[in-house]
């Protein structure tokens, strides 16, 4: 081999080595670059995770604060309600005491009788009020028993125990959730109060369960028959407006018609098992 060929072969070998080294350096640089990109991606992901975690922590802290504030407001509202109830009961008892004291001091037998009756009615009103709020901390209530006790208090309040005026409760035993029992108690209170203005004798409260219409609570009296064109949604008084609002609140339906034997008036409230 000539010297020129030897030098050419050596140059080629040297060039190949340089090229291999360059390729290797490029590969190493690519690996380093890939690792750097991966590390940057991991760091960016960690930063995003950290930021999201911080946002979630702040959101949870705000939610906890709001929940605590809501609980404090509810507790404050419950305390104010209890205080109001306590003051109302005390005020009613004070009125009863003052009326009773005045009835004993008056020289007029007629005035004494009227004051004594007023004292009894105010006392009965207090019992009705307590009865209506008796269910506040219960889950369910047996409706016929509850309505029966309520009607006893209403009889004392409205009729002063007069045997000529009776409120009779009859029908099926129905257990309902308290959220239904409370508005139904107010409905009974309003219906009997309205019936007492027109009834001559007995007022009947009946509870029924029908397969098609669900539960039914009716209050009927033997007073004047309602006009044929009577519309409970028309120019109703305050009492009937309250009844209609309460019936809507329990997803019920109010039906008005004549009482037994086409005498007097009957108010029926159909309502589901759950509000």
Tally of domains in the chain: 2
Q: Which residues of the chain have pLDDT under 50?
A: none
In-domain check, residue 160: yes
Q: For position 236, what pLDDT does the model report?
A: 61
- What pLDDT, in 10s, does the model give residues 95-151? 888 888 888 888 888 888 888 877 877 776 777 777 767 777 778 889 999 899 888
- Are 146 and 262 within one domain? yes
Name 269's bridge partners. 217, 254
* CATH number for the domain harbouring residue 262: 3.30.565.10
| Whether residue 98 is found in the same domain as residue 182 | no
Name, in order, each residue with C-beta under 8 angstroms of 129's C-beta and a sequence gap of 6 or more.
88, 89, 92
Among 105, 126, 157, the domain boundary falls at 105
- Give the model's pLDDT for residue 206: 93
| pLDDT score recorded for residue 83 | 81
Q: Are residues 97 and 178 in the same domain?
A: no
* Residue 146 and residue 96 share a domain: no
Residue 35: inside a domain, yes or no? Answer: yes
pLDDT at position 170 is 92
Q: Is residue 21 one of the residues assigned to a domain?
A: yes
- For residue 107, the model assigns a pLDDT of 85
Last residue of a domain, one of 105, 128, 152: 105
Are residues 177 and 233 both part of a single domain? Answer: yes
Do 171 and 232 share a domain, yes or no?
yes
Q: 16 lies in a domain?
A: yes
- Domain co-membership, 259 together with 144: yes
Q: What are phi and psi of 38, to 5 degrees?
A: -65, -40
Q: What are the tokens at 233?
A: 């949604």
Cα four-point dihedral sign 215, 221, 224, 225: positive
For residues 198 and 242, membership in a common domain is answered with yes
The verdict on residue 218 lying in a domain is yes
Question: Residue 11: its pLDDT value, please?
Answer: 53
Q: What angle do CA 245, 249, 255 make, to 5 degrees?
A: 60
Contact 129, 81 (CB under 8 A): no
**Residue ranges making up the domain that contains 234:** 140-271
Greatest CA span in the chain, whole angstroms? 157
Residue 226 DSSP class: P
Judgement on whether residues 54 and 147 belong to the same structural domain of the protein = no
Q: Which of 105, 125, 148 is the last residue of a domain?
A: 105
């Amino acid at each position: 081999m000539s010297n020129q060929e030897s030098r050419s072969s050596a140059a080629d070998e040297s060039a190949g080595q340089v090229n291999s080294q360059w390729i290797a350096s490029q590969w190493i640089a690519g690996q380093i670059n890939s690792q750097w990109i991966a590390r940057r991606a991991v760091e960016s992901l960690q930063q995003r995770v950290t930021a999201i975690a911080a946002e979630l922590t702040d959101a949870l802290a705000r939610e906890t604060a709001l929940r605590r504030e809501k609980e404090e407001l509810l507790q404050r509202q419950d305390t104010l309600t209890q205080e109001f109830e306590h003051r109302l009961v005390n005020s009613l008892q004070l009125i009863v005491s003052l009326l009773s004291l005045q009835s004993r001091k008056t020289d007029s037998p007629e005035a004494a009788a009227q004051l004594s009756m007023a004292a009894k009615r105010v006392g009965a009103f207090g019992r009705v009020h307590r009865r209506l709020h008796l269910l506040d901390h219960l889950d369910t209530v047996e409706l016929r028993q509850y309505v029966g006790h309520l009607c006893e208090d209403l009889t004392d309040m409205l009729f002063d125990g007069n045997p000529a005026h009776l409120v009779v409760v009859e029908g099926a035993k129905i257990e309902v959730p308290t959220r239904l029992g409370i508005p139904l108690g107010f409905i009974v209170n309003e219906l009997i109060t309205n019936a007492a203005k027109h009834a001559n004798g007995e007022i009947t409260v009946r509870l029924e369960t029908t397969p098609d219409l669900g539960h039914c609570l009716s209050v009927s009296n033997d007073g004047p028959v309602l006009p044929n064109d009577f519309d409970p949604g028309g120019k109703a008084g305050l009492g009937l407006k309250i009844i209609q609002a309460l019936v809507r609140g329990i997803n019920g339906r109010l039906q008005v018609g004549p009482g037994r034997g086409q005498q007097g008036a009957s108010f029926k409230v159909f309502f589901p098992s759950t509000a």
